[in-house]
């Protein structure tokens, strides 16, 4: 990447220079940690343009009081470019005011960087593996899966903007009992396709989406397997059914604009002997032993019997009990395979992020324990986070809307996207922090004109584009040549715009894409507000009669704000429309 640092980064640099000068002068002891020093806009804009807490954070280590240190720092900070005043306030904040040139330069920077404004190298090119969706390949995506898909996808984009190399991965659970059930369900549909009339017993998947799979199998195999024993058809039927389900899931994800780089198969992992490798390594390090599982607490099980199983010592890492990696029939537990899978992922990435539904919260500790055990033991510590996405309560007209996987009568993702559109679904899912539960009310979201933030944000972009087209018709071209003519109102808008790079960095570091959505709403609000000044005051419109130079400057500003909205929406995977 680039280039001149964006405004906040630049002033963080100036602050460091000032602190260095104080160190050189002996006012400040050398080597104090500056990690908690920030340069931010003050919460109250009347305090100034930039605020730093440096004096308060460093005073203790310097053995002095914050205000005294602040005074020394101020004499250095006023040397930074475009600083018109530096005031000490409250317990030791330093508030800086900047000349308009500072903001106009930032506007030029947006113009120069265009679609790259907001990108940074704060991730230093490190590779992050983001695993998300990973729904079982037994049916179409339903709304319960949607939030994790959107959050994971936006997070992946966000991390790329922050300078990480990102692997978007989907783990296909194609080795457990549920895919055998799928195969049996499909076998029924296969017989049905060959003319039998059947009822679907409890315990099999009843969904009609399996009918075409049955027809496909009938076309491929004829009646070869109609009365054959399960052992003969289970594997081929399972393989084809899983492939068909994955095609369907990928199509559903495409409707949402979600695409993965890598699909990893649990069955392939097992076939390659990865769980055995992991087990051997863990046994060699005394992290797996043969022992008895405790009876589950808090509920009574009639058929509970103690059995000896290979157990992973997750209690050493804070889990409540040690966890089995194999079942009594010798096959791998989900955890046993998942552990090997994470081992594999850790080999190819510097950091791992899993996006899981909150219903899997109970298994977070064991998998974190496993990753910690394997990556620490191997001498390569790997940051690993599990982001839990809370449940989405589907609502219709204010009342809960029930989904039931079992009945096959669930609300599919495809249905919802068709009803309300990809952009609305994505943006709505991102206007809440993921760890909070949310309601998704069809009626509200569909009707959704005024109340829906996505339209508000998209309208800002569309409004800008429309005005630029109109200006072009009138022979006006955006130009930075006379941006010095822009005034305080325009600078206020640029100040909001200038937040974008630091916002992207902070959101990426916190792994919180929803912050981008909230920022875009603020930016759109600032823009609409500015734009509406022109309602009563024609001289404040983009296109000012008899003043081509000012018009060109304002159109340039508008162009950059539009670009910024587009950049932010790009992170979220929402389209920046030209027209509404």
Partner RNA sequence: GCGCCCGUAGCUCAGCAGGAUAGAGCAUCAGAUUCCUAAUCUGGGGGCCAUGGGUUCGAAUCCCGUCGGGCGCACCA
| Sole residue written with tokens 């395979």 | 337
x/- mask, RNA, residues 3-42, rule CB under 7 A, reads ---------------------------------x---xxx
Tell me how far, at minimum, the Cβ of 302 lies from RNA, in Å.
11
Question: Which one, of 381, 350, 386, lies nearest residue 367 by Cα?
Answer: 386
* 315 is a contact residue toward RNA (CB under 7 A): no
Residues in region 415-454 near RNA by CB under 7 A: 431-433, 435-439, 449-451
Instruction: Give the separation between CA 404 and CA 402, rounded to whole angstroms.
Output: 7
Contact between 248 and 210 under an 8 Å Cβ cutoff? The reply is no
DSSP labels for 84-115?
EEEEEETTTEEEEEE-HHHHHHHHHHHHHHGG
As beta bridge partners, residue 353 has 130, 385
Regarding 384 and contact with RNA (CB under 7 A), the answer is no
Please name the residue that has the structure tokens 């009365």.
227
Near RNA in 536-575, by CB under 7 A? 536, 540-543
Per the CB < 8 A criterion, the answer to whether 2 and 121 are in contact is no
Instruction: Pick between residue 69 and residue 156 the one whose CB is nearest to RNA.
Output: 69
| CB nearer to RNA: pick between 191 and 421 | 421
Q: By rule CB under 7 A, what string of x and - marks binding of each residue 129-168 to RNA?
A: -------x--------------------------------
Which of the residues 324 through 353 are near RNA (CB under 7 A)? 324, 327-329, 333-335
Looking at 267, 388, 395, 485, which residue binds RNA (CB under 7 A)? Answer: 388
Does residue 406 bind RNA (CB under 7 A)? no
Using CB under 7 A as the binding rule, the residues of this chain from 179 to 218 that contact RNA are none
> How many other C-beta atoms can be found within 10 angstroms of the C-beta atom of residue 437?
11
- Minimum distance of RNA from residue 470's CB (angstroms): 6
Smallest gap, in angstroms, from Cβ of residue 535 to RNA?
A: 5
CB 60, min distance to RNA, A: 6
Q: Which of residues 88-117 bind RNA (CB under 7 A)?
A: 89-93, 95
Exactly one of 11, 341, 521, 556 binds RNA (CB under 7 A); which one? 521
Query: What would the x/- binding string for RNA be over residues 59 to 78, using CB under 7 A?
Result: -x-----x------------
Nearer to RNA, 17 or 532 (CB): 532
Distance of CA 186 to the CA centre of its chain: 35
Judge whether 342 and 171 are in contact, CB under 8 Å: no
477 binds RNA (CB under 7 A): no
Sheet containing strand 308-312, edge to edge, reads 288-292, 308-312, 323-324
**Residue nearer to RNA on the CB measure, 78 or 361:** 361
473 contributes a contact to RNA by CB under 7 A: no
Sign of CA pseudo-dihedral 141, 142, 145, 147:
positive
Q: How far apart are CA 70 and CA 59, in angstroms?
A: 9
Give the C-alpha distances (Å, rounded to integers) separating 375 from 57, 272, 278: 35, 20, 11
Helix (H) or strand (E) holding 310: strand 308-312
Does residue 396 interact with RNA by CB under 7 A? no
* Chain residues 489-508 in contact with RNA, contact rule CB under 7 A: 503, 506
289 and 310 in contact (C-beta within 8 Å)?
A: yes
| Closer to RNA by Cβ: residue 191 or 432 | 432
In 3-state terms, the chain is what percent helix, strand and coil (to 5)?
55, 15, 35
Helix (H) or strand (E) holding 353: strand 351-357
- Residues 387 and 355: beta-carbon distance below 8 Å: yes
Is 235 among the residues that bind RNA (CB under 7 A)?
no
Nearer to RNA, 349 or 389 (CB): 389
Size of the site for RNA (CB under 7 A): 97
> Segment contacting RNA (CB under 7 A): 103-111, 222-230, 293-301, 566-574?
293-301
Extract the tokens encoding 471.
């200006």
Q: How far is the CB of 59 from RNA (least distance, A)?
A: 8
């Amino acid at each position: 990447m680039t280039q001149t640092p964006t405004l906040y980064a630049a002033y963080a640099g100036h602050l460091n220079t000032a602190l260095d000068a104080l160190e050189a002068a002996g006012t400040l002891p050398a080597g104090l940690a500056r990690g908690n020093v920030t340069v931010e806009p003050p919460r109250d804009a009347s305090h100034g343009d930039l605020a730093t807490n440096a004096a308060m954070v460093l005073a203790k280590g310097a053995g002095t009081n914050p205000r005294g240190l602040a005074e020394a720092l101020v004499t250095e900070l006023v040397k930074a470019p475009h600083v018109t005043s530096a005031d000490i306030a409250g317990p030791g904040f330093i508030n800086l005011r900047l000349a308009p040139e500072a903001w106009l330069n930032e506007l030029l920077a947006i113009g120069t960087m265009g679609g790259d404004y907001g990108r940074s190298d704060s991730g230093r090119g490190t590779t992050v593996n983001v695993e998300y969706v990973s729904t079982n390949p037994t049916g179409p995506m339903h709304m319960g899966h949607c939030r994790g898909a959107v959050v994971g996808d936006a997070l992946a984009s966000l991390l790329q903007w922050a300078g990480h190399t990102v692997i978007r991965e989907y783990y296909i659970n194609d080795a457990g009992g549920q895919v055998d059930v799928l195969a049996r369900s499909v076998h029924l549909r296969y017989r049905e396709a060959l003319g039998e009339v059947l009822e679907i017993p409890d315990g099999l998947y009843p969904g009609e989406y399996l009918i075409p799979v049955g027809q496909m199998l009938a076309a491929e195999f004829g009646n070869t397997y109609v009365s054959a024993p399960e052992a003969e058809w289970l594997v081929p039927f399972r393989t084809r059914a899983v492939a068909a389900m994955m095609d369907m899931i990928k199509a559903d994800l495409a409707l949402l604009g979600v695409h993965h780089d890598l699909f990893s198969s649990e069955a392939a992992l097992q076939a390659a002997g990865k769980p055995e490798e992991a087990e051997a390594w863990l046994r060699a390090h005394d992290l797996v032993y043969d022992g008895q599982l405790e009876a589950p607490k808090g509920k009574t099980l009639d058929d509970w019997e103690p059995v000896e199983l290979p157990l992973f010592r997750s209690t050493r890492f804070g889990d409540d009990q040690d966890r089995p990696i194999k079942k009594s029939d010798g096959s791998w537990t989900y955890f046993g395979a998942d552990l090997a899978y994470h081992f594999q992922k850790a080999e190819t990435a510097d950091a791992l992020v899993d996006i899981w539904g909150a219903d899997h919260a109970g298994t977070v500790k064991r998998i974190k324990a496993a990753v910690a055990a394997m990556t620490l033991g191997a001498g390569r510590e790997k940051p690993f986070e599990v982001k839990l996405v809370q449940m989405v309560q589907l609502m219709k007209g204010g009342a809960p809307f029930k989904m039931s996987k079992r009945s096959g009568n669930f609300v599919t993702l495809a249905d919802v996207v068709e009803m309300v559109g990809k952009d609305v679904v994505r943006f709505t899912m991102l206007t809440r922090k993921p760890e909070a539960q949310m309601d998704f009310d069809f009626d509200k979201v569909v009707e959704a004109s005024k109340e829906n933030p996505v339209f508000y944000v998209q309208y800002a972009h569309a409004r800008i584009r429309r005005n630029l087209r109109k200006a072009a018709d009138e022979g006006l071209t955006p130009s930075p040549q006379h941006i010095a003519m822009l005034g305080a109102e325009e600078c206020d808008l640029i100040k909001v715009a200038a937040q974008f790079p630091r916002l992207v960095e902070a959101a990426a570091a916190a792994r919180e894409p929803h912050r981008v959505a909230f920022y875009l709403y603020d930016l759109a609000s600032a823009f609409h507000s500015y734009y509406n000044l022109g309602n009563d005051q024609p001289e404040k419109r983009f296109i000012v009669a008899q003043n081509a130079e000012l018009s060109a400057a304002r159109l340039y500003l508008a162009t950059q704000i539009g670009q910024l909205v587009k950049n932010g929406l790009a992170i979220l995977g929402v389209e920046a429309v030209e027209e509404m």
